[in-house]
Amino acid sequence: MTAKPVLNRAQFHTSVAQLRDLPHSCAEIAFAGRSNAGKSSAINLLTRKNRLAFTSKTPGRTQLINFFELDADTYLVDLPGYGYAKVPPEVRAKWEGLLSRYLQEREALAGMVLIMDARHPLTPLDRQMLDWFTPTGKPVHILLSKADKLSNSEKALTLRRVQQELAALDGVTVQLFSSLSRQGAEEAATLIEGWLARARQPQTNG
């Protein structure tokens, strides 16, 4: 019998609103994205758990960093959605401070999955996330979500354009993704499992 893929072991662990409350972790993968970009649906599809991440009709509802345990001290991390206009400015400022410090300072963070609506990729706030995270040298994988809403020619054009715009950034990969049609789910899961496997390997000096 084959071992259960690590993503499919995800179980809710804790929610935190302050960096000081982050759990001890050896390895974690963060999921980030604009409000309503399809982040929760992507997490649910990749973990094969329909209601693991809460999908809300009200964008901007997730205001906490949610940790889902995969194995001991190994987590999938659901970051607050950003860019929802109706969020009060002081709340938005708090989120941004929390997100930027987490992405820049969290040692256990092995990589970031950034979800962008394929119809509106690379918004200024998406670029802000990349600006915060890419200097760490850790990998970023972009899921161009809701790809089922594009024609085949639009898909190819969007993928090529995003890849070209980010070509100067090291460690950034891009793919088309759809939670509805499951396009790209296997590819994304394999990549994330690979990140986790490498992050959990004992570090050797030399």
The CATH code that applies to domain 6-199 is 3.40.50.300
pLDDT tens-place string over residues 7-66: 999 999 999 988 999 999 999 999 999 988 999 999 999 999 877 876 554 444 557 899
Percent residues over pLDDT 70 in the chain: 90
Res 54: pLDDT: 66
Selection from 86, 84, 94, 106 nearest residue 29 by Cα: 106
Q: What is the predicted pLDDT for the residue at 87? A: 73
pLDDT of 86 higher than 80: no
Where along the chain do its domains lie?
A: 6-199
The residues, ordered by sequence, that sit 6+ positions from 80 with a Cβ below 8 Å of its Cβ are 62, 63, 64, 65, 95, 98, 99
Q: What tokens appear for 171 in the block?
A: 């460690």
Task: Identify which of 119, 27, 115 has the alpha carbon closest to the alpha carbon of residue 67.
Answer: 27
Burial of 40 (0-12, 13-18, 19+ CB in 10 A): buried
The tokens describing 86, both together, are 């109706």
Identify the pLDDT of residue 194: 95
